[in-house]
């Protein structure tokens, strides 16, 4: 009987020791996770601040900047591009560049975006104005690799 009492007591001591060890490990894991959350939120805040600075710079440029997919669907545009297209900035995302262009320029635009999607450098393209009194536009493009493989960055200037 005494033997069973000693074994039971040893098992109880071992169980308490093991629970304390597990509690210490869980506390350490919680602290590591908390540190990751804090550093992750710091990194996210820094990324948001960087994107806000970039957006401010893009909005101040004297040329139109448009980010599209390889089909020419607008993902982002600055205010200058919206003025050049004669549309409110909020209406541009989701539209295609072809919708903004003169109907006679749409075939050239298709070739322009095909050249860009093949990874080559497409020549600049001239877009006629769709509104009387507005100048023609020159579009230059390149891959926007920091926005993914399906992203193009276009610079749009008014032609004198």
67 CA to centre of own chain: 10
Residue-wise pLDDT for 25-38, tens only, equals 777 787 787 777 77
Residue-wise pLDDT for 11-68, tens only, equals 667 666 666 776 777 777 877 877 777 777 777 777 788 778 877 887 788 888 888 8
Buried/exposed 53-83: b ≥16 CB within 10 Å, e otherwise: eeeeebeeeebbbbbbbeebbbbbbbebbbe
pTM of structure: 0.62
Percentage, residues of the chain above pLDDT 70: 81
**Average pLDDT, integer, range 66-76:** 88
Lowest-confidence region among 6-15, 87-96, 99-108: 6-15
């Amino acid at each position: 009987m005494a033997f069973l009492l000693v074994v039971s007591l040893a098992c109880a001591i071992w169980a308490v020791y093991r629970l304390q060890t597990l509690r210490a490990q869980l506390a350490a894991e919680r602290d590591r996770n908390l540190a990751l959350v804090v550093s992750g939120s710091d990194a996210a805040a820094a990324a948001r601040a960087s994107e806000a600075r970039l957006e401010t710079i893009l909005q101040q440029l004297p040329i139109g900047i448009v980010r599209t997919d390889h089909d020419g669907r607008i993902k982002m545009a600055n205010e200058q591009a919206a003025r050049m297209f004669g549309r409110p900035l909020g209406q541009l995302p989701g539209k295609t560049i072809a919708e903004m262009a003169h109907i006679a320029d749409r075939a050239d635009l298709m070739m322009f975006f095909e050249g860009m999607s093949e990874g080559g450098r497409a020549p600049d393209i001239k877009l006629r104005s769709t509104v009387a009194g507005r100048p023609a536009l020159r579009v230059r493009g390149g891959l926007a690799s920091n926005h993914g493989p399906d992203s193009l960055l276009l610079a749009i200037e008014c032609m004198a």
